[in-house]
Amino acid sequence: MDCGFRGYYHQHTGELLFVPDTLRNPYFETELFEEDIKKWEDNQNDFVEIATMDSSRSFEIMAAFAEQLDLKNPLKGRLINALGKRKPFREFKSLIDFSGPYRQQWFQFREARIMEWVKSQLK
């Protein structure tokens, strides 16, 4: 869902289905997903869409990642500072992309938070 897909939950089987979001990305190549798209189109009433995370929630996740870093870690201050700038998402990403092992920690942290988000949508 964080990569331009729409997520659906099948109410009876518990199946999760992810298809390209062609509304937001009209040029998305859908050939590889035609089977899933057809499954969704043929059974729309059985699927519930999982809401995508809005930018304020994404911002909260970035802030939470920065806050959980050790006070002695210089990256913490730089990330917090980046979140206060005019383009916080770009600034944060720029710092994370060149942060060595913290980049992988960020991806793991973000993935866990996204999973929590999806689980909360399914309850």
Q: How far apart are CA 59 and CA 56, in angstroms?
A: 5
Q: How far apart are CA 43 and CA 46, in angstroms?
A: 6
User: What are 95-119's pLDDT values in tens digits?
Assistant: 999 999 999 999 999 999 998 988 8
Q: Which pTM was predicted?
A: 0.79
Q: Do 21 and 62 meet the contact criterion of CB atoms below 8 Å apart?
A: no
In the DSSP assignment, the letter for residue 29 is -
Rg (CA), the chain: 18
What are the residues facing 19 on neighbouring strands? 6
Q: If you average pLDDT over residues 14-43, what whole number do you get?
A: 90
Which amino acid, one-letter code, is at 105? Q
Q: If you average pLDDT over residues 53-59, what whole number do you get?
A: 91
